[in-house]
Structure 1
Amino acid sequence: MSMQPQILAILTILPFHHVTDPFQKSGKRLIVYHTNWAMYDRKFNVRDIPIYYYSDINYAFVSLTMNDQGFYVPSLSDSWSDTDKRFTVADESVPPLDPPDNGQPCKPGQYYGNFGQFRNLKTINPAFSLGFSIGGWTLSKHFSTAVRTPETRQAFVQGILDLLNQFPQLFDRVDIDWEHVSPAGENYGDEGNTTHPKDGEHYGLISALPLAIMAQTLTSINVMTYDYASSSWGPVAAGHHTNLFSTPYAPLSIHNIVEALLARGVPANKIVIGAAFYSRGFANTDGLSRPSSGTVPDQSWEAGLCDYLSLPRQGAVEHWDDQARATYSYDPVKKILNSYDSVQSVTEKCKYVWDRGLQGIIVWESSGDFNVSHPRSLSTALYHGLTRDPRQ
């Protein structure tokens, strides 16, 4: 079976990269996504993010829309969530409270919403690095058009700069989450598709390119090491969706993908592996590696997917697969299996990062975890696992 690494397409601009002291000391990174829709049904706000437990936060997502000149440029995908909502309730807001709007729109240069909340957070802890993420699974369709020619690329980059300048001293990075780059759109002979010798002085780059080229030019590579198995794709065997090692019933694994990257010349200290704050569920199955049919309907927000903080479900028993270094739970009455990360599995991933000299771990997404004071908190386990070398 072909083991093609699934690489998250990201361009990260780091003009002033800074991390909290424990991460700076360890040299590892823990990057978490926070979505602009978390404030709605999930009722998870910026103030709920345990910012001291992460080195980086990626705010998802910014979209691509056509400007007056006919070029696709970055734009806010939800202005109410991003900049307009007034947080006037103490248990929802990072202090100080926003003033009520009284029906008045924001003045030029004035903003509230999640961006305003992050601005307030930076006064409390200016050490964490904040980036906005362009694209994602549903907003990536215009990327090919946006980077097709030198003219469209120039407009695209200018659009990024315009958005950064619109919110000065707020964002440190730009995360381009192109899902997914494919060879069908490549045009590496285009003389306009170039880099500058000084680019590497202040900017960290993460992108999806042929690996031989990536190894020469990029500073970090984020690998989407989750969703290996999902009932959303149709009838499949119940399996692990973010396992560290392969088994006969779970051939895809983090280790295999890391090995593939290393074999193709990617330095270990550029690789960031993934962890998930959610499960993939399988219905009508007799257990791990057994056939399943249909997605699980009673999950957190969509069929087949459940937030980690809701696991294990009532009636299910949690199990550890020592060969795969992965956790799952199974309900023998409902015949439902959920595959997910646990404190044990993310601790194993942290050890793997240290043992292999990798750069760190990326997490999707912030609202799915327990509070950091809870014994099952993955954020706490990841923080301790990446700021303390277990070999010492």
Structure 2
Amino acid sequence: MGYYPDWLGYDFPPTKIDFRRFDWIDFAFAVPNADATLSWDDPSAPGLLDKLVSTAHSQGSKVKLSIGGWTGSKHFSALVATNHSRETFISNIFEVYISHQLDGIEIDWEYPGHAGSSSNEFDGNDTANFLLFLRSLRASLPSGARITAAVEPKPFVDSTGRALEDVSEFAEVLDWILIMNYDLWGSSSHPGPNAPLYDACGNSTQPSGSALGSYSAWTNAQFPASKLVLGLPSYGYISSSIARNLRARSKPTNRHHHHSTTLKIASGDGDSDGQIQFRDLISQGALSPTGDKTRYYSSHGFEQLWDSCSCTPYLRSPQSKQVITFDDPTSLGMKAAFAKQTGMLGVNLFDVHGDTDDWILVDAIR
């Protein structure tokens, strides 16, 4: 599985995706408005979605529409709060589902019961209302439609803000959930891992903030492993730092994914987002290929190091005062192996364009 954001249309059209490597593609994002309609960040998005669907279907793959996202979750709370608002919202989702010949819907609400972005509305009844909404959505969409949710590493919260101990009712209505095990640490003067596999050193302030931690949190809350999908990043973060060791304590960052930051090898730093795709680490010279397609060596003044606490690599350049936390074929392969060993349904890469043209990352996790 992989995400295809609407901002890729100009540089990476759907015809460049090797659909033989993907069962599902999630098109991101449709944005809910206050009046329960859906809008798009880019006016070309509806046409791009149609092109994605037709190309995917011609090659045996399926497409879900992801609704919401970090900056698109402002109105979810109000839209699921009453019977009337839920019915109106679902009617508009149904119309988009049919008109674009979709195979499923993903709800990426960040987050029920508490705000991701500071502008997001939230209410103590969000989680209960979300369940009612999902049940109605299930009853309204065609029987073959897949309904999924993108979730944070810990389970949904109750009216007091505490993680629920039993989310089994959500498992009854959702086909699967995608655990967003990335952005645990963003661009920072004290860098930390973007997507930890483990908290192997046992000193994270977010015990659920790793592949193992999130798996344990959701399965302990009665969500079956067979309906869990592990989210994997094809990007990392640039930080202004000369630190040799990564911080172990998680510092959540925002999930506002856009075009990646330009890497300045000789000087410069990461901005407030500070994201850089794996393909750009190669094209801009921080990583160079070896004879082994799964391994790269550092170059242009960077040294490549390994954080044994999180099982992730990072690059360090004392000259440019940069630390780059990222994932490579080895670390992503380890996370994919973990997902398989624990009985999870699969993995999902955000996003497909972050990989190389010959799909090094995707092949490492397949």
Q: Under TM normalisation by the shorter chain, which class is it?
A: 0.7 to 0.9
Match of 2:227 among 239, 264, 270: 270
Is 1:357 paired with 2:343? yes
Structure 1: gaps (5+ residues): 1-30, 84-113, 384-392
1:288–1:337 Cα contact (<8 Å) kept: no
Confirm or deny: 8 A CA contact 2:29 2:67 kept in the other structure.
Answer: yes
Partner of 2:52: 118
Correspondence 1:223-302 to 2 at 5 A: 223-231=179-187, 235=189, 237-248=190-201, 251=204, 252-289=209-246, 298-299=262-263
SS in 2 for 1:206: strand
TM-score by length of 2: 0.74
1:156 matched residue in structure 2: 89
Match of 2:106 in 1: 175
1:39 paired to 2:9: yes
Q: Structure 2: which 5+ runs fail to align?
A: 115-122, 158-163, 254-259, 265-269, 287-299
CA contact (8 A) 2:26 2:65 kept: yes
What is the TM-score normalised by the length of structure 1? 0.69
Alpha-carbon distance in 2 for matches of 1:240, 1:33 = 21
Letter in 2 for 1:363: L
In structure 2, distance between residues paired with 1:150 and 1:334: 56
**Residue 166 of structure 1: which of 96, 99, 103 is its match?**
99
- Alpha carbons of structure 1 residues 250 and 229: separation in structure 2 relative to 1, 3 Å: farther
| Per-residue CA distance 1:290-319 (angstroms, 9 max, x = gap) | 69xxx9974399652111112262322223
Residue 257 of structure 2 corresponds to none
Alignment of 1:203-242 (within 5 A): 203-207=145-149, 209-210=156-157, 211-216=164-169, 217=172, 218-231=174-187, 235=189, 237-242=190-195
The structure-2 alpha-carbon separation of the partners of 1:189 and 1:159, relative to structure 1 and needing over 3 Å to count, comes to: closer
1:72 has 2:3 as partner:
no
Q: What is the RMSD computed on CA atoms of the aligned residues?
A: 3.1
* Match status 1:321 vs 2:260: no
Equivalent residue pairs, number: 305
Instruction: State the partner residue of 2:117.
Output: none
Contact 2:201–2:309 (CA under 8 A) maintained in structure 1? no
Residue equivalent to 2:125: 186
Please report how far the alpha carbon of residue 36 of structure 1 lies from its aligned counterpart in structure 2 after TM superposition: 0.9
The alignment-based identity, stated in percent, is 22
Q: Tell me if the contact between 1:144 and 1:185 (Cα under 8 Å) persists in the aligned partners.
A: no
- Aligned mates of 2:234, 2:129 — CA distance in 1: 40
Read off the aligned partner of 2:351 and give its amino acid letter. Answer: E
Task: Say yes or no: does 1:379 pair with 2:310.
Answer: no
- Give yes or no for contact 2:62–2:103 (8 Å, CA) kept in 1: yes
Corresponding residue of 2:119: none
1:171 maps to a residue whose letter is: L
CA contact (8 A) 1:327 1:345 kept: yes
The answer (yes or no) to whether the contact 2:105–2:148 under 8 Å persists in 1 is no
Give the 3 Å change call, closer, same or farther, for CA 192–254 of structure 1 in structure 2: closer
Max Rg structure: 1
The offset of 1:63, in angstroms, is: 1.5
Q: Residue 73 of structure 2 aligns with which residue?
A: 140
Equivalent residue, structure 2, for 1:307: 277
